[in-house]
Amino acid sequence: MKNNERKKISSPLGVAGAVFGLIIGLAMELISAAGPFVESKAAWAHGTGYRQSDKKPISLEFSYSTGEAMSYREAKVFSPRDEKFAFQSGRTDEDGRFAFTPNAAGQWRVVVKDEEGHLAEAKIQVAREFLDDSEKAAEKVAAGSATANTTIIEKTAIPGGMDLVLRSVLGVSLLFNIAAFTSLARRRKGGGS
């Protein structure tokens, strides 16, 4: 009887053990399969594909103060999520344009550098609606019922046109004012001594 009882007890235990083992084993297999899959999707892929993205990109144009395009210059995009590592890097095109597709709301930064010490930095505030409704917004714009301007672009702009003329005149006038004051100060000093 004791032996029988033991068998009776041990056999459900054995079944449970086997099932438990099976579950653990499966889980282990899944984890080991998912682990590298998460780490490197490319290694597990067996092919490539593409489709037209429905996300709206932001396209910027970079130029020098001479009006010349900053063509083929190094460009880096920094996401609001990561300020250190570039979200995207590449070069501007022939006409100084560079486009990227934001995937988070917040302030994005695009930095374009050349090899002679010139740097242009654009800061772009991306609103949540820009990301959520990029498709709908595009349709609305196409239908003429809304503006696409869900982004605020605050670029350290180089003045142009009339503004440039006024600023230049102001600069020259300031220069002569500084000269006049210096001259006056010197004369007084000279007269005193």
The contact set with other proteins (CB under 8 A) reads 65-68, 111, 113, 115-121, 156-159, 164, 167-168, 170-172, 174-176, 178-179, 182-183, 186-187, 190
Min dist. Cβ of residue 181 to other proteins (A): 10
Virtual torsion, Cα 178, 183, 185, 189, nearest 10 deg: 160
DSSP state letter for 181? H
**Among candidates 81, 80, 60, 58, which has minimal Cα distance to 69?**
60
Least distance to other proteins, CB of residue 51, Å: 37
Instruction: Classify residue 104 by its DSSP letter.
Output: S
- The minimum distance between CB 71 and other proteins, in angstroms, equals 11
In the block, tokens 């990109």 appear at 57
Q: Taking the complex as a whole, how short is the minimal distance between the CB of residue 185 and other proteins, in angstroms?
A: 9
Looking at the chain, how many residues does it have? Answer: 193
Cβ nearer to other proteins, comparing 66 with 145: 66
Q: Which is nearer to other proteins, 22 or 164 (CB)?
A: 164
From the CB of residue 137, how many other CB atoms can be counted at a distance below 10 Å? Answer: 19
| CB of 114 vs other proteins, minimal distance in Å | 8
The upper half-sphere exposure of residue 117, i.e. CA atoms within 13 Å in the direction of its Cβ, equals 0
- Closest to other proteins by CB, 117 vs 144, is 117
Which residues share a beta bridge with 76? 89, 111
Residue with smaller CB distance to other proteins, 13 or 165: 165
Which ranges constitute the DSSP H helices of 40-91? 41-44
- CB-nearer residue toward other proteins: 74 or 133: 74
